[in-house]
Structure 1
Amino acid sequence: MSAQVRTPRLEIEYCTRCKWLPRATWMAQELLTTFEAELGEVALIPSTGGVFEVRVDGEVVWSRKSDAAFTDAADIKKLVRDRIAPDRPLGHSDRRP
């Protein structure tokens, strides 16, 4: 039996030296909870060099490299939503004060 990869595939690459595993697992949980019906799989990818990237099907949707500070989960959820389910409302995450 061959393993079938379901799409979309969400990847979170994180720096092990920076101890960002807890942040990566928390973000994975947030995204899985929000997009449980839309995501095919989520992968955590250990790396080094200060990297923290969120990718959908290999395309970077958010990177700490281009945004020196971490953004909040709501912003990343919007970026992922825009890629995998653009018509899906996110409730309170879509509202801004």
Structure 2
Amino acid sequence: MTLLTQDAIEKKLLRFPDWEYYENAIHVEFEFDNFKDCFSAMSRIAFECEAQNHHPNWTNVYNILTISLSTHSANGVTEKDFKLAEAIEAIVEVQE
């Protein structure tokens, strides 16, 4: 995978208004109504991560899910991260 430049990342982020780029990764935080809804989304995201063979750094505290994506083998952000971000957005959108 080829690393994306900062300019390319910022352009791609225009399609993902809730996501930010810093510390060599793209990041987002989702707030759900309750823990059950958050955990349900995490479970569905986990299946997508397995399907794409790409796994996020994430944390969950009650109804808050924080996700960071970077391609570890490339030491930064690649197209692979945006493909997973797009899938995550679709999953979370369906949940809401």
More helix by share: 2
TM-score, L = length of structure 1? 0.30
TM-score, L = length of structure 2? 0.31
The answer to which structure, 1 or 2, has the higher relative contact order (CA under 8 A, 6+ apart) is: 2
- Compare CA radii of gyration and give the structure with the larger one: 1
